[in-house]
Amino acid sequence: VLIIGSGGREHCLGWKIKQSPQCGRLYFAPGNGGTSFLGENVDINIKEPKAVANFVLNNHIDFVVIGPEAPLVGGLVDELSKEDVLAFGPSRELARLEGSKIYAKELMQSLGIPTAAFKVFNSSVSALKYLRQRKYPAVIKADGLAAGKGVFVVDNYQAAEEAVEEIMVKKKFGSAGERILIEDFFAGEEASLLVLTDGETIVPLASSQDHKRAYEGDRGPNTGGMGAYSPAPVLEGEIMQRAQDMIFKPLIEGLRKKGAIYRGLLYGGLMIKEGIPYVLEFNVRFGDPETQAVLPRLKSDLLEALVKTAQGHLSEVSLEWDRKACVCVVLASGGYPGNYERGKEIRGIEAAEEDAFVFHAGTKLDEERSRLLSNGGRVLNVCALAESLAEAKQKAYHAIEKIHFENMFFRRDIADKALKRS
Ligand code: GLY
């Protein structure tokens, strides 16, 4: 098995896949400090589908699991299927659900899937003309991939003008900002629902909630995610069923009617408002850090589920979940999500692992493989399972006390929204 990516998500996927009796040799490209203890890290250019396909063929790899969105949008699954290699993830065409926000919104609109009203603009002049006369707040989004940074929530025209300037004039996200979406703003509670689908059957994973802002109380800049927990009470019961009936079923069926078979993981970034789940965005891969909060609760064989999804046999799979709750806290480098520090020695992971799972993200081993160093903005994910969310939270933060690297920071309020609700 080859896992593409280098984050906490990929370490967690590898940890779970390795538990399968069907897993033989495990490779990560490029992997991180933690994955090097689970399998072999290989240095191939994952942006180059042909380079990945060559490695796969030369090393007789049977199955490729793709973590991040960019290789999917770049057509890696298409390249591998040309070589008859089984891969987990959608084709390039369907990866546009994440790769083009305009494509996703237009599809949702045509299928009657609940989502905020929107307009599309191809030029800054026409966008600014519209923004001068619309109501605020509004949401401005670059169409293409922008590493989670292409969404601006603006309260007035001046802020809107700055966002359009960044995206369309200064071209901060390159060609991803050639077109933009301007959407109505929704207030509600966000949650993530990840489902496996083979284009016909849909199997939801356990619900979760991410914490995107850098600081406690949902303040500060957006990040890749500072922590997550599962289950997310806001998405339980009737709402979970509504999310499937109003969002995932019409989408997968609508695509199938057009002859497009979505195979892989589909991530709905949802906003729950007055009991209705609205789609903020779709992602075409596992969430990070949601995966690290969800997979420790999975009792079933993940590798088998992913293989069956990719083969179109998902109807043969049912997933069994631990009733325990999981809380995952991200430990980040000083400066993140701006310019952050690297190369800081990390200590205390073994002691923390007595109580928690520690999934690595931005870490690497030094040349002698004797010291673990920070090597990214999000460095570690500390995840604990317990009978309740409150206990899982306490356990995760207790484990964090044992870990140290210079200028490490983390949010202390992961899961508080759920705890307040209950
Ligand atoms: N946690 C947000 C994401 O995976 O996009």
Q: Return the pLDDT at 409.
A: 97
Task: Say if ligand 1 is within 6 A of residue 98 CB.
Answer: no
Spell out where 82-207 has E strands: 86-88, 118-121, 138-142, 151-154, 180-184, 189-197, 202-204
| pLDDT tens string 101-144 | 999 999 999 999 999 999 999 999 999 999 999 999 999 999 99
CA distances from 282 to 165, 232, 373 (A): 25, 18, 33
Ligand 1 atom with least separation from CA of 283:
5
Dihedral sign for Cα atoms in the order 305, 309, 313, 314: positive
Residue type present at position 298: L
- Within 8 A by CB and 6+ apart from 177, the residues are 142, 143, 144, 146, 150, 166, 167, 168, 171
| pLDDT tens string 75-96 | 999 999 999 999 999 999 999 9
Ligand 1 atom with least separation from CA of 288:
4
Residue 369 near residue 317 (C-beta atoms within 8 A): no
CA distances from 111 to 194, 253, 299 (A): 20, 10, 34
The residues that bridge with 329 in the sheet, in sequence order, are 227, 382
Rounded Cα distance, 193 and 139, in Å: 22
Please give the distance, rounded to the nearest whole angstrom, from the Cα atom of residue 282 to the centre of ligand 1: 10
The residues that bridge with 119 in the sheet, in sequence order, are 182
Nearest CA to ligand 1 atom 4: 287
Q: Return the pLDDT at 349.
A: 97
Please give the distance, rounded to the nearest whole angstrom, from the Cα atom of residue 207 to the centre of ligand 1: 14
Q: How many CB atoms lie within 10 A of CB 183?
A: 20
Residue 323 near residue 40 (C-beta atoms within 8 A): no
Rounded Cα distance, 247 and 77, in Å: 25
Please give the distance, rounded to the nearest whole angstrom, from the Cα atom of residue 369 to the centre of ligand 1: 30
| pLDDT tens string 276-309 | 999 999 999 999 999 999 999 999 999 999 999 9
| pLDDT tens string 195-217 | 999 999 999 999 999 999 999 99
Please give the distance, rounded to the nearest whole angstrom, from the Cα atom of residue 146 to the centre of ligand 1: 12
Please give the distance, rounded to the nearest whole angstrom, from the Cα atom of residue 275 to the centre of ligand 1: 23
3-state helix, strand, coil in the chain (%, to 5): 35, 25, 40
Q: Return the pLDDT at 318.
A: 96
Q: 192, 222, 282: which to mutate for ligand 1, most atoms within 8 A of CB?
A: 192
Task: Say if ligand 1 is within 6 A of residue 225 CB.
Answer: yes
Q: Return the pLDDT at 246.
A: 98
Q: How many CB atoms lie within 10 A of CB 368?
A: 6
Provide mean pLDDT across the span 5-27.
Answer: 98
Please give the distance, rounded to the nearest whole angstrom, from the Cα atom of residue 60 to the centre of ligand 1: 31
| pLDDT tens string 232-261 | 999 988 999 999 999 999 999 999 999 999
Residue 324 near residue 392 (C-beta atoms within 8 A): yes
Nearest CA to ligand 1 atom 5: 287
Task: Say if ligand 1 is within 6 A of residue 283 CB.
Answer: yes
Q: 290, 294, 329, 414: which to mutate for ligand 1, most atoms within 8 A of CB?
A: 290
CB-facing half-sphere around the CA of 68: CA atoms within 13 A:
20
Rounded Cα distance, 60 and 1, in Å: 9
Rounded Cα distance, 381 and 240, in Å: 26
pLDDT at 422 over 80: no
Provide mean pLDDT across the span 21-35.
Answer: 98
Rounded Cα distance, 377 and 339, in Å: 8
pLDDT-wise least confident of 80-89, 147-156, 352-361: 147-156
Rounded Cα distance, 193 and 207, in Å: 5
Residue 267 near residue 287 (C-beta atoms within 8 A): yes
| pLDDT tens string 268-282 | 999 999 999 999 999
Nearest CA to ligand 1 atom 3: 287
Q: Return the pLDDT at 169.
A: 94
Residue 108 near residue 121 (C-beta atoms within 8 A): no
Please give the distance, rounded to the nearest whole angstrom, from the Cα atom of residue 260 to the centre of ligand 1: 24
pLDDT at 367 over 80: yes
Q: 210, 282, 285: which to mutate for ligand 1, most atoms within 8 A of CB?
A: 210
Task: Say if ligand 1 is within 6 A of residue 281 CB.
Answer: no
Q: 9, 151, 288: which to mutate for ligand 1, most atoms within 8 A of CB?
A: 288
Residue type present at position 301: D
Task: Say if ligand 1 is within 6 A of residue 190 CB.
Answer: no
Please give the distance, rounded to the nearest whole angstrom, from the Cα atom of residue 265 to the centre of ligand 1: 13
Ligand 1 atom with least separation from CA of 286:
4
Ligand 1 atom with least separation from CA of 148:
5
Give the confidence band of 405 by pLDDT, cuts at 50, 70, 90: very high
Give the confidence band of 147 by pLDDT, cuts at 50, 70, 90: confident
Task: Say if ligand 1 is within 6 A of residue 287 CB.
Answer: yes
Please give the distance, rounded to the nearest whole angstrom, from the Cα atom of residue 323 to the centre of ligand 1: 24
Angle (CA) 290-183-160 rounded to 5° is: 105
Residue type present at position 394: Q
Please give the distance, rounded to the nearest whole angstrom, from the Cα atom of residue 74 to the centre of ligand 1: 19
| pLDDT tens string 217-230 | 999 988 999 999 99
The percentage of the chain sitting over the pLDDT mark of 70, rounded to a whole number, equals 100
pTM, 2 dp = 0.96
Angle (CA) 222-224-229 rounded to 5° is: 105
Q: Return the pLDDT at 149.
A: 83
Residue 330 near residue 212 (C-beta atoms within 8 A): no
Burial class (CB in 10 A: 0-12, 13-18, 19+), 191: buried
Residue 298 near residue 15 (C-beta atoms within 8 A): no
Please give the distance, rounded to the nearest whole angstrom, from the Cα atom of residue 147 to the centre of ligand 1: 10
Give the confidence band of 421 by pLDDT, cuts at 50, 70, 90: confident
- Torsion of Cα atoms, 236 then 239 then 245 then 249, to 10°: -50
Q: Return the pLDDT at 357.
A: 97
Provide mean pLDDT across the span 369-385.
Answer: 96
Q: How many CB atoms lie within 10 A of CB 146?
A: 17
Rounded Cα distance, 179 and 350, in Å: 48
